[in-house]
Amino acid sequence: MEKHIPVLWDETIEGLNIHKDGIYVDCTLGFGGHSSRILEKLENGHLYGFDQDENALAYAKARLAAISNHFTLIDRNFKYLKEEMTSRGIHAVDGILFDLGVSSVQFDTASRGFSYNYDARLDMRMDERQRLDAYMIVNEWPYAKLVQIITRYGEEKFAKNIARQIEKERQKAPIETTFQLVEIIKQAIPAPARRKGGHPAKRTFQALRIAVNDELNVFHDTLYDALDLLRPGGRIAVITFHSLEDRICKQIFREKTALPDLPAGLPVIPAEMQPAYHLINKKPIEASEAELEANHRAHSAKLRIIERNETNG
**For the chain, domain boundaries:** 9-99+215-308, 117-213
pLDDT higher for 3 or 241? 241
Task: Work out the pLDDT band at 1, boundaries 50, 70, 90.
Answer: very low
Cα gap 313→231, rounded to integer Å: 7
Does domain 117-213 correspond to CATH entry 3.40.50.2020?
no
**Span 190-228, pLDDT tens digits:** 998 888 878 999 999 999 999 999 999 999 999 999 999
Which pLDDT belongs to residue 104? 59
pLDDT higher for 280 or 2? 280
pLDDT value at 4 more than 70:
no
Return the amino acid letter for 88. R
Q: Taking residues 63-85, report their average pLDDT.
A: 97
Residues 112, 114, 118, 123, Cα dihedral to 10°: 50
Q: Taking residues 149-163, report their average pLDDT.
A: 96
SS3 for 60-121 is HHHHHHCCCCCEEEECCCHHHHHHHHHHCCCCCEEEEEEECCCCHHHHHCHHHCCCCCCCCE
Fill in the DSSP letter of residue 175: -
Buried b vs exposed e over 137-156: b needs ≥16 C-beta within 10 Å? Answer: bbeebeeeebbbbbbebbeb
Which pLDDT belongs to residue 140? 98
Topology classification of domain 9-99+215-308:
Rossmann fold (3.40.50)
From 126-130, 230-234, 265-269, 273-277, the region with the lowest mean pLDDT: 265-269
Which pLDDT belongs to residue 3? 52
Which pLDDT belongs to residue 313? 43
pLDDT value at 264 more than 80:
no
